[in-house]
Amino acid sequence: MSNLAQLHGRHVVLGLSGGIACYKAAELARELIKVGATVQVVMTEAAEHFITAVTMQALSGRPVATSQWDPREANNMAHINLSREADAVLVAPASADFIAKIAQGRADDLLSLLCLARPLKAGGQPCPLLLAPAMNREMWAHPATQRNLAQVAADGALVLGPGHGDQACGEVGDGRMLEAAELRDGLVASFQPKLLAGRRVLITAGPTFEAIDPVRGITNLSSGKMGFAVARAAQEAGALVTLVAGPVHLPTPRHVRRIDVKSAQQMHDAVLPIAAEHDVFVATAAVADWRPASASDQKIKKDGSGQMPTIAMTENPDILAAVARLPGRPYCVGFAAESHDLARHAREKLVRKNVPLVVGNLGPATFGRDDNTLLLVDAQGERELATADKLSLARELVREIARRIGQ
């Protein structure tokens, strides 16, 4: 499934309770529809003071539901009909008052009614309820709000956020509703099977940079996108993820612990002390094989001779091989970014590094791109993962890893 169809076939009830963050719900509706969802908007009376039902109807393409007494419903049971049709209920914004209602099981309007009336789905679990808190920082920090949040989470709701930053009141702190794209991704993640629940996954991503002098260095064209996609997919699958990233400009996937490094030696020093604490190690980083034996502390200038200065080189530590040698090592997955003879080089790496799985790809064909083609190589043979966007491939790789470690 491509990134543009991640919610294909899903029907989402988007609930709006009162708050200035209702303006973000307009963009959220668009984002959900862009990735394939159908969206039914339900608004409380308070929400209608901040954004109109006309706006939300225009964006969702469906009449907005606002009252439990809606005469359009033949059985006069909008709360039942809406909840039975839904694959998920996402309340964004979820005000402090609305969260209190859900925590206490009160249902005095259509939105709280349908949240309470959510049916059991396949597997005996209720229709998912996701809440995106939006409120002033003091309201967020109040003990009553925190008690209510703990209760709704204990009752099975998934709380998305809040964010930290400027607030409409002019204050700064926790309580901002997450942005539309973040909520979209949170909803997408909620539908992913938790194949790595409770597992700890360590991932390296991006290039390394080996300094020659204060302004020059040796690096490569890796964007880090594949590694970051694997980190997101593993987190979606329920894993506790640590991402050791080389010098890239990519946002950190939510709930992923990130460690930024620059050189191969720094990446090695970040990975080795913690590798044994993890169940899986995925080495997607394109680590430089060589580095200058010593970097000049001043810029190396041209001298007019037309000759390039001789730079002594030394080999960088082999991070994957070092992790694979650890006692009680994690399940190790290597990446081979090659320019030719992909299968042969990937298999040689599998044997040389003594790891159970190597994922091969042609570096020049994928560096910086949003799609990729992967070749899985192990002792039994080879299997290609057809060209797709990197997040879809990352999810498929996570499923493969979960199967192999017997999760």
171 class by beta-carbon count within 10 Å (0-12 exposed, 13-18 middle, 19+ buried) = exposed
In this prediction, residue 231 carries a pLDDT of 97
The model's pTM is: 0.87
Identify the residue with better confidence: 221 or 272: 272
Distance between CA atoms of residues 249 and 242, nearest Å: 17
pLDDT band, very low/low/confident/very high, at 2 (cuts 50, 70, 90): low
Question: Topology of 200-404 in CATH?
Answer: Rossmann fold (3.40.50)
- Write out pLDDT tens, residues 272-315: 999 999 999 999 999 999 999 888 888 888 878 878 788 888 99
Residue 393, H or E segment: helix 390-404
Distance between CA atoms of residues 86 and 128, nearest Å: 9
Angle (CA) 240 3 91, round 5°: 70
Query: Could you tell me the two tokens for 210?
Result: 């080996």
In this prediction, residue 309 carries a pLDDT of 81
In this prediction, residue 81 carries a pLDDT of 79
In this prediction, residue 360 carries a pLDDT of 87
pLDDT band, very low/low/confident/very high, at 226 (cuts 50, 70, 90): very high
Q: Is 237 helix (H, G, I), strand (E, B) or coil?
A: coil
What DSSP state is assigned to residue 370? S
Question: With 60 as the cut, is the pLDDT of residue 208 above it?
Answer: yes
Q: Work out the average pLDDT over 92-114.
A: 95
CATH number given to 3-190: 3.40.50.1950
Distance between CA atoms of residues 273 and 64, nearest Å: 54
Q: Work out the average pLDDT over 316-336.
A: 94
pLDDT band, very low/low/confident/very high, at 202 (cuts 50, 70, 90): very high
Could you give the residue numbers annotated as active site?
169
In this prediction, residue 386 carries a pLDDT of 87
Of 5-14, 289-298, 334-343, the range with the highest mean pLDDT is 5-14
- Write out pLDDT tens, residues 140-184: 999 999 999 999 999 999 999 999 999 888 999 999 999 999 999
Distance between CA atoms of residues 233 and 178, nearest Å: 20
Residue 332 neighbours by CB under 8 Å, 6+ apart: 281, 283, 320, 323, 324, 353, 355, 356, 357
Q: Which of 119-128, 157-166, 361-370 has the lowest mean pLDDT?
A: 361-370
Angle (CA) 125 131 132, round 5°: 150
Which residue ranges make up each domain of the chain? 3-190, 200-404
